[in-house]
Amino acid sequence: MPKKENAGRQTPINAQPRIHQHAAEIQAYGTVSHVLPLDLDEAVRLEMTEQLNQLLADSITLRDLYKKAHWQVAGPTFYQLHLLFDKHFGEQVEIVDTIAERIQLLGGVSIAMAPDVAETTKIERPPRGREEVPVQISRLLDAHQIIIGECRTLAGRASELGDDGTNDAVVSDVLRTNELQSWFLTEHLVEMPLVHAQDPAMRKAG
């Protein structure tokens, strides 16, 4: 005769959410999953995720610098820079997501929280208050320069190690976008007359 299931052992259905839960981490930061079907050695993935996390921390910082500049910009170029900074912010949001997902794909753990990013980034922290437009743009360009240098180093190393996916993501998505954004910014620091063209003779005399 088949045994009846013990109804007392069944978990009752309850609509109450289980809040305030805590548990140990399922994976420590700075590690990678041991076995993944990527045809990349664990040592390669460890090195790549470490460098990608540095790039991620700096990209998150640049992303937030753009939003700060977008909110705080002032002066006669307010309208066009307000829009440009927000456009660049949106592009950096996509870059951040691309880098973070590449880290996770490689079996690593992407840096995420603001205090951890602040401890890791190489980009100088700005003041809380508002700055003049030339200073805002210069600060953004300095951040771009750091990231572009990291991209070139990381892309070259990824190519050496056979991590073509990381190489492609860094060059195609991160490097090229940062180069283009830098170009748009640098053109705003060229001193040009807005209303009165300078006489060529006076320009030579100067």
Residue 20 placed within a domain: no
Residue 24 lies in a domain: no
| Mean pLDDT across 53-61 | 98
Cα(31)–Cα(109) distance, rounded to whole angstroms? 7
Is 25 part of a structural domain of the chain? no
Question: Is the pLDDT confidence value at 108 over 90?
Answer: yes
The answer to whether the beta carbons of residues 130 and 68 sit under 8 Å apart is no
The model's pLDDT over 3-51, given as tens digits with 9 standing for 90+, comes to 555 555 677 888 999 999 999 999 999 999 988 999 999 999 999 999 9
Measure the CA–CA gap between 52 and 103, rounded to whole angstroms.
7
Amino acid at 26: I
Query: Which pLDDT score, from 0 to 100, does residue 7 have?
Result: 55
Q: Is residue 156 part of a domain?
A: yes
- pLDDT value of position 63: 98
Q: Is residue 166, in this structure, part of any structural domain at all?
A: yes
Q: What is the total count of domains within the chain?
A: 1
Tell me whether residue 16 is in a domain: no
129: in domain: yes
Contact, 60 vs 113, CB < 8 A? no
| Residue range(s) defining the domain that contains residue 141 | 38-189
For residue 50, what is the domain's CATH number?
1.20.1260.10
pLDDT, tens digit, 9 for 90 and up, residues 129-165:
999 999 999 999 999 999 999 999 999 999 999 999 9
Separation between Cα atoms, residue 123 and residue 139, nearest integer Å: 9
pTM of the model: 0.89
Residue-wise pLDDT for 165-184, tens only, equals 999 999 999 999 999 999 99
Number of other residues whose CB lies within 10 A of the CB of residue 194:
7
In a domain, residue 28? The reply is no
